[in-house]
Chain A
Amino acid sequence: GENVEQHPSTLSVQEGDSAVIKCTYSDSASNYFPWYKQELGKRPQLIIDIRSNVGEKKDQRIAVTLNKTAKHFSLHITETQPEDSAVYFCAVTLSSGYALNFGKGTSLLVTP
């Protein structure tokens, strides 16, 4: 299946700093790239997504960039706050176009 590599596995930043998480994928046919945030004991929640015909998308403090040539996409969180602390997962569509293949997650800790 689609191989998704996510880095780093853990990330610690100070409040107010920026955080960047990167994912690489192998299938050039993938065309949908969501990011999910999961707080401890809760369900994954979609925070931002991007489609293959767009290079960048921004929503307030969160942005995602996509480089289809290099097959990688990144999540950028600016002005981080303690409530941004969570596990973040990237995902890509599988060849069926329906299901998603998830990265293994990045545990982000924002310290005051």
Chain B
Amino acid sequence: NAGVTQTPKFQVLKTGQSMTLQCAQDMNHNSMYWYRQDPGMGLRLIYYSASEGTTDKGEVPNGYNVSRLNKREFSLRLESAAPSQTSVYFCASSAGPPYNEQFFGPGTRLTVL
């Protein structure tokens, strides 16, 4: 079992470019999440998908879109990257309430110039 995987590991973009971060899990989890981590800020929720076919905004959704492609995959898209989106992005998955232990992927380090 690979758990939660993310691609790419690193990415550098220029302001205005677009890109999609990919996430997949092989734990048969219903729920998936995207967080960003900035120094001194902890992890902040961008979007989540409670189950296949649903997505909901988190604390910091502006500038992002998501797609729950199927039960395994949940992608995060930056349509027009900005320097403020420089961060480490983590995908996570869980079975869902009440067993909501979240398992994280290795992260994507994104720099926007």
Interface size class of A (residues with CB under 8 A): 20 to 34
CB contacts under 8 Å to B, within A79-112, are 89, 93-94, 96-105
Q: Counting chain B CB atoms within 10 Å of each CB, which of A51, A94, A102 scores highest? A: A102
Q: Counting chain B CB atoms within 10 Å of each CB, which of A32, A43, A105 scores highest? A: A43
Q: Which residues of A contact B103 (CB under 8 A)?
A: 46
Bound together, the chains give a CA A98 to CA B48 distance in angstroms of 8
A98 & B104 in contact (Cβ 8 Å cutoff)? no
How many chain B residues have a CB neighbour from A under 8 Å? 27
A43 & B100 in contact (Cβ 8 Å cutoff)? no
B2 at the A interface (CB under 8 A): no
A99 & B105 in contact (Cβ 8 Å cutoff)? no
Known contacts A98-B96, A99-B58, A104-B41; is A46 also within 8 Å of B102 by CB? yes
Q: Which 8 A-B pairs have the closest CB atoms?
A: A97-B97, A43-B104, A102-B42, A104-B42, A102-B43, A99-B48, A99-B45, A98-B50
| A-B interface contact total, Cβ < 8 Å | 61
Known contacts A32-B100, A34-B102; is A44 also within 8 Å of B90 by CB? yes
Q: In the complex, which of the residues A32, A44, A46, A94 contacts B43, with contact meaning CB atoms closer than 8 Å?
A: A44
Closest residue of A by beta carbon distance from B47: A99
B101 & A34 in contact (Cβ 8 Å cutoff)? yes
On B, residues with C-beta under 8 Å from A are 31, 33, 35, 40-45, 48, 50, 56, 58-59, 90, 94, 96-98, 100-107
**Nearest CB in chain A: distance from B22 CB, A:** 16
Q: Which residues of B contact A96 (CB under 8 A)?
A: 50, 56
A28 at the B interface (CB under 8 A): no
List 4 other contacts, CB 8 Å, given A94-B45, A96-B56, A100-B43.
A46-B101, A98-B31, A98-B96, A104-B40
**Nearest CB in chain B: distance from A26 CB, A:** 15
Closest residue of B by beta carbon distance from A103: B42
B56 & A43 in contact (Cβ 8 Å cutoff)? no
Closest residue of A by beta carbon distance from B100: A32
